[in-house]
Chains A and B, each alone.
Chain A
Amino acid sequence: MIEFGQAFAAAFHLIASLDAGLVEIVALSLRISLSAVALAALVGLPLGAAVALYRFPGRLAVAALLNAFMGLPPVVVGLIVYLLLSRSGPLGVLGLLFTPGAMIVAQWLLVTPIVAALALQTVADLHTEYDEQLRSLGATPGRALWTLLWDGRLSLVTAVLAGFGRASAEVGAVMIVGGNINHVTRVMTTAIALETSKGDLALALGLGLILICLALAINFTAMAVRDLARVRHA
């Protein structure tokens, strides 16, 4: 088990020397995953809240679908997005395949059900709590939707963070639609897969450690912002 010591050394060396290749890969990873999560929040939060508040036929089926899609296999999503964006596919003319844009689309598909399903739960709980108040104010579901989303914003941070965790950790989808092209679509996870396939396990694990540290840093920041908001709110 020499690998672990070497991995820490490799990770430390990469960070200490501010390795240009590493900075590029980390920046691209963050750009892609944060874009995907922002888009997913834009769609997923209102979608989850709407399913929680509106009564329509097939509502339960939609809720079940959102819950099931939280566990979408990344490699399947990658394959679907590949088939859509391929030059032989329906959206081939866009020329998006093997670009960061294609990777954002794939991660967005993965993350949106997670954000939506968790938002659904949060908003449904809040709705049970405030049902009478909302009704006495004569709020329509449309008004209630935004009110409850705003009211639950502190809990919804967790939903968005769960989505970010999924986006930044997956490799199956971005590998297929991004192609792991050096300097163009190589991100943390695909770089780790590449170093593993070269047999350079220490460097691969070192990159993995950096990825975990990044996820920690982002979660700490989000939690700090949330707690600050909670203190000011109280």
Chain B
Amino acid sequence: MVTRLSALVLALSLLAGGLEARAAEEKTERFITVASTTSTENSGLFDHLLPLFTTASGIAVRVVAVGTGQAIALARNGDADLLFVHHKPSEEAFVADGFGVERFDVMYNDFVLVGPSGDPAGAGGLAEAPAALARIAAAEALFASRGDDSGTHKTELGLWRAAGVDAAAASGTWYRETGSGMGATLNAASAMDAYALTDRATWLKFANKGDLEVLVEGDRRLFNQYGIILVSAAKHPHVKSADGEAFIEWLISPAGQAAIAAYRIEGAPAFFANARMAGG
């Protein structure tokens, strides 16, 4: 059954490939594919950054923006040349399992806890994020969670653990798992007047804030580090190692780091470049 379906898809693929041949002739460009997160895409950073790299190198960058969990799965299957996400433990496991060559710090920003301006749980202004979450749980105020195994979701789960709250047990009541991207979750939070954890860049760029505002920020637990990894050619020989390395080198070079630092959303810096510069 599977082989027959494969054969059918193969035949169609060749046909579709033929149709694409003309289009491909128009676009015989050098490109690399980057599996990344919705936060980098939605924040507008890539629109600012990638043209600069393409101009400098002649290499186009194709970004597939999904949650960190799905991005790692794509890279594991060899469907991307680079992995550019924000959950260090998962990234280190990716390298340790032999799927990635080496992990490089690129930049950071931070997560913020947003919620309705009325703040029914009284979580606003607390210095400690877990304490704020504990208040939300105690008040059983609505909380919109990504629930999608993304980097933001993993960070959020860590904060619940630190707060000593079993949020999963409340799933479906005051704890709402949207199972979707950051923007969709913020749309849901905005519609429900719920609390939510979001990265700052997506929040700054988000256009449908409604009654939501930032209530908790600045806790060191809300630190959000982004790293980039070249997918291992030992696992997937088709990976464009040279062009992928060029992208990493540019990102962590003074030019790339300056380009990241220069990106602002409504005057506010969205990401802070923090690669350890080569030889520095």
Give me the interface of A with B, judged by CB distance under 8 Å: 31, 35, 39, 80-81, 84-92, 94-102, 104-105, 108-109, 179-182, 184, 194, 196-201
Shortest CB–CB separation between residue A66 and chain B, in angstroms?
Answer: 15
Give me the interface of B with A, judged by CB distance under 8 Å: 2, 5-6, 9-10, 12-13, 15-17, 19-20, 23, 33, 38, 41-42, 47, 62-65, 76-79, 180-184, 186-187, 190, 205-209, 236, 238
Distance in angstroms between the alpha carbons of A181 and B10 in the assembled complex: 23
Asked if A92 and B78 sit within 8 Å, CB to CB, the answer is: yes
Asked if B12 and A108 sit within 8 Å, CB to CB, the answer is: yes
Given contacts A86-B77, A91-B6, A182-B63, contact A199 B186 (CB under 8 A): yes
Distance in angstroms between the alpha carbons of A99 and B33 in the assembled complex: 11
Q: Report 11 cross-chain contacts, Cβ distance below 8 Å, ordered by A residue.
A: A39-B16, A84-B6, A88-B77, A98-B62, A100-B16, A101-B17, A108-B16, A180-B65, A196-B184, A197-B184, A199-B208
Asked if B6 and A86 sit within 8 Å, CB to CB, the answer is: no
Could you say which of A86, A105, A184, A197 contacts B79, with CB atoms under 8 Å apart?
A: A86
Given the complex, which residues of A lie within 8 Å of B186, measured CB to CB? Answer: 199
Shortest CB–CB separation between residue A60 and chain B, in angstroms?
Answer: 19
Could you say which of B16, B42, B47, B78 contacts A197, with CB atoms under 8 Å apart?
A: B42
Asked if A99 and B20 sit within 8 Å, CB to CB, the answer is: yes
Asked if B20 and A101 sit within 8 Å, CB to CB, the answer is: yes
Distance in angstroms between the alpha carbons of A195 and B209 in the assembled complex: 14
9 more contacts with CB within 8 A, not counting A95-B238, A108-B16, are A39-B12, A84-B5, A85-B9, A88-B76, A100-B16, A179-B64, A181-B64, A199-B187, A200-B207
Given the complex, which residues of B lie within 8 Å of A194, measured CB to CB? Answer: 41
Could you say which of B19, B79, B190, B209 contacts A87, with CB atoms under 8 Å apart?
A: B79
Distance in angstroms between the alpha carbons of A91 and B7 in the assembled complex: 9
Asked if B42 and A97 sit within 8 Å, CB to CB, the answer is: no
Asked if A35 and B184 sit within 8 Å, CB to CB, the answer is: no
